[in-house]
Amino acid sequence: MAASSRAQVLRLYRALLRESQRFSGYNYRMYAIRRIRDAFRENKNIKDSEKIEELVNKAKVNLEVIHRQV
């Protein structure tokens, strides 16, 4: 993975975690955090740049959903 892709993924990961901390309900907050961590852990060994780009776009959409719900 290129350094810029890695940095982009890490920024997105941190943004998702930061935004999910804003859920007022404990159960929603912990569920969101667990899902984010599990998804990133599951996909950490992917090397295909097209697949990485697809996952990054999916994560951006999820970030917007979390942002709207909070």
Q: What per-residue confidence (pLDDT) applies to 3?
A: 74
Residues 6+ away with beta carbon under 8 Å from 59: 12, 13, 16, 39
- Helices and strands per DSSP (H, E), number in the chain: 3, 0
Classify residue 32 by burial, with Cβ atoms within 10 Å: 0-12, 13-18, 19+.
Answer: buried
Query: Alpha-carbon distance 54 to 51, whole Å?
Result: 5
pTM, rounded to two decimals: 0.89
Q: Which residues of the chain have pLDDT under 50?
A: none
The per-residue pLDDT for 1 is 62
